[in-house]
Amino acid sequence: MEGMIRKDNSGWWDGSVGYEIYVRSFADSDGDGVGDLPGITGKLEYLSWLGVDLVWITPFYPSPMADFGYDVSDYCGVDPLFGTLEDFDQLITEAHRQDLRVIIDLVPNHSSSAHPWFQSSRSSVDDKYRGYYHWRDPSSDGKPPNNWVSHFGGSAWTLDEESEQYYLHLFLPEQPDLNWNNPEVINEFDEIIQFWLSRDVDGFRIDVAQGLVKNMLMPDNPIRFQINESMSPRQVFASFDHRYDLDQAGNLEIFRRWRNLVDPHDALLLGEVYLRDNDPNRVSRYVSSGDALHRAFYFAPMHVPWDPQSMWDTFRDALDAAPEDLSWALSSHDDPRAPTRFGGGEEGKQRALAYSVLLFFLPGLPVIFQGDELGLPSIELALEELADPVATRNAVETDGRDGARTPIPWNSSSGFGFTHGTPWIPIGNRSEKDTVEYQQKTHGSWLMRYRTLLQIRKDNLDLDSPLRWITARDSDVISFSRGGLISALNVGGSGQILSLPNGQWELAFHVGEVALNDRSVAFGENSAAILILAS
């Protein structure tokens, strides 16, 4: 922007690899079947051994758990299910002792309907907290105020019969959206952020960062595709052009305000900027000014098919829009795990590891979802075992997220070392070969290979070297160099040959069939390699 002095988005997170912990399913310390904060503390040594630098912990705040913690009833506490504030402090202390940074989920788009703010808000149209949320009269025909829909199915409006007004929720009815046009809401979150900074957190992963501000006139969103009853909630949501409920310009002003709060603490702002069209130019707005978010998750890589052209378009366009400041995830708690997404079985696992060779060496911040390093596929659950409200509350449950959220198998004991009680959700058909204990002592396991890959990254990646594409968009091999390192991935349906730049290159890591010749590399299907320039 003309006249603007670009601030630096760099910090201790440069060169880091993140690790997402879905707290319910990571490690249970007390046998109630639910993962908790002391469970995480007990596994920090494992994360340090794996080679990650940054741990992101999903919400652990007091909550009715309608959406498993993303419905917050107290932003400055710990739910007893997960421990205490003292347990949190101990986790931070131990993580820092092991040179691990910790960022926590901030959920500012919505609170729980059980939050005292909302309880007070719905008590009277004149209540001082009424303006903390979006309350509107029905339309002239008595229906919701507009055509906005929830991510999780149905209208984004629920009628409060007492006041005869509707309140807005882009997710569950138990998750009313906060009104970020209200200065009081802004002030409340200033205090929340400062509360956690005073407890030495290293930053925040901001949930629904694209959704905070709404167009207060609240017109109907344009419809892009015809909607029918066979559509899942995700398909219905994608059928609208979210022109007025998402990605409003005012979001950046909030993040600039937060930047001033976190910068003195050297803390990271990592935004979940989940835009349905995955337009990298829109995502890049959240980081490109250099004074808003430090990093923005770019989600297209978690949905791209195993196809050269699709991958080229995804990565070239993203890096053109934001060359340094994106964050890449292989999997997450909201989507199918990478091995499942890439076809399942051994082929799916190999593709996921090969894909990591690409993701982990791009500029930006790569993040592993717990279990990625074990090559875990998603679990298939029976209908009666489903817990995710997206699945249980909709006739079409295909968007359910349970399969990616099942507990981590630590060892082959009862409960797979996750718990000595009954897991909150079935662990599924995991085997001994899926466990951390087995893979740690097995040469060539997925875990040992991921650990090796992270070590190569730490030892050889020159952060100051720009990315230079070696292959072009018409190639089945996606390859780039950064200084004296080459990353290459064969996404084609047959073997490929990659010609190497001048120099003496050594094969440092490979997935699948890879053969290094004098000036070229031969790739089999679903293969990838890291090459290092000999000194």
Q: Which residue has the tokens 């202390």?
A: 93
Contact 255, 188 (CB under 8 A): no
CA-closest candidate to residue 286, choices 246, 244, 240, 343: 246
**Contact criterion met (CB below 8 Å) for 252 and 276:** no
CB 463 within 8 A of CB 14: yes
Are the C-beta atoms of 240 and 222 separated by less than 8 Å?
yes
C-alpha to C-alpha distance for 183 and 188, rounded to whole angstroms:
9
Tell me how far apart the alpha carbons of residues 236 and 74 are, in angstroms, rounded to a whole number. 31
Residue 205 and residue 56 in contact, taking contact as beta carbons nearer than 8 Å: yes
Instruction: For the sheet with 505-511, list strands across it.
Output: 467-469, 477-482, 485-490, 527-533, 505-511
Please identify which residue in the block is written with the tokens 């003309």.
2
The total of other beta-carbon atoms located within 10 Å of residue 119's CB is 14
Whether the CB-CB separation of 287 and 325 falls below 8 Å is answered with yes
**3-class DSSP assignment, residue 437:** helix
Coil vs helix vs strand at 224: coil
Residues, the chain: 535
Residue 101's nearest CA partner among 43, 16, 42, 199 is: 16
Comparing C-alpha atoms, which of 211, 191, 193, 210 is closest to residue 202?
193
- At residue 290, the 3 state secondary structure works out as coil
Q: Minimal CA–CA distance to 203: which of 41, 92, 330, 321?
A: 92
Point out the residues that are catalytic: 207, 272
Q: Are strands 477-482 and 467-469 parallel, antiparallel or unpaired?
A: antiparallel
Q: Around Cβ 179, how many Cβ atoms within 10 Å?
A: 21
Per DSSP, helices labelled H in 289-328 are 308-321
| Paired residues of 274 in beta bridges | none
CA-based nearest residue to 39, from 101, 104, 90: 90
Place of tokens 């207060």: 216
Name the burial class of residue 347, with classes exposed (0-12), middle (13-18) and buried (19+) by CB atoms within 10 angstroms of its CB: middle
* DSSP state string for 205-220: EETTTTSS---TT-PP
CB proximity list for 76: less than 8 A, separation 6 or greater: 61, 192, 195, 196
How far apart CA 486 and CA 468 sit, in angstroms, is: 9
